[in-house]
Amino acid sequence: MDESDEEGDPNKLPYWEHHILRHNLDVTHIEKNVCKNILGTILNIDGKSKNNLQSRLDLVDMGIRRDLHPQLLSNGKYRLPPLIFVMSKEEKEVFCMVLNSIKVSDAYASNISRCVSLKN
């Protein structure tokens, strides 16, 4: 088992032995993962988005959302129709500018502006 496996194992968390109900889900980890997946999808971040060829092929298998089915191009690659909730480049820039200039109370998201890069 490598370090990344230990990091994702809740039994290895330093506070785990103090939990009375160890089978309960840790809300903070769930919130972080959900937030990361939502932001990855709406910002269309490569490798972080849940909008990929496999998810689109699942729609084909289920026979739903025909407007989102992947389209096979003449070169053998697939084209994924755009989603309505994925931000355009201009919308991403505005979103990042807002996060970069936001002022919030201490202990909430007080360092969010330092985490945003307007260059990327």
Instruction: Tell me phi and psi for residue 109, to 5 degrees.
Output: -130, 45
Chain segment 62-97, per-residue pLDDT in tens: 999 999 999 999 999 999 998 888 899 999 889 888
pLDDT score, position 37: 87
pLDDT band of 120, cuts 50, 70, 90: low
| Positive/negative CA dihedral, 68, 33, 102, 112 | negative
pLDDT score, position 31: 84
| Positive/negative CA dihedral, 10, 12, 13, 19 | positive
Chain segment 41-59, per-residue pLDDT in tens: 888 888 888 888 999 999 9
pLDDT score, position 51: 85
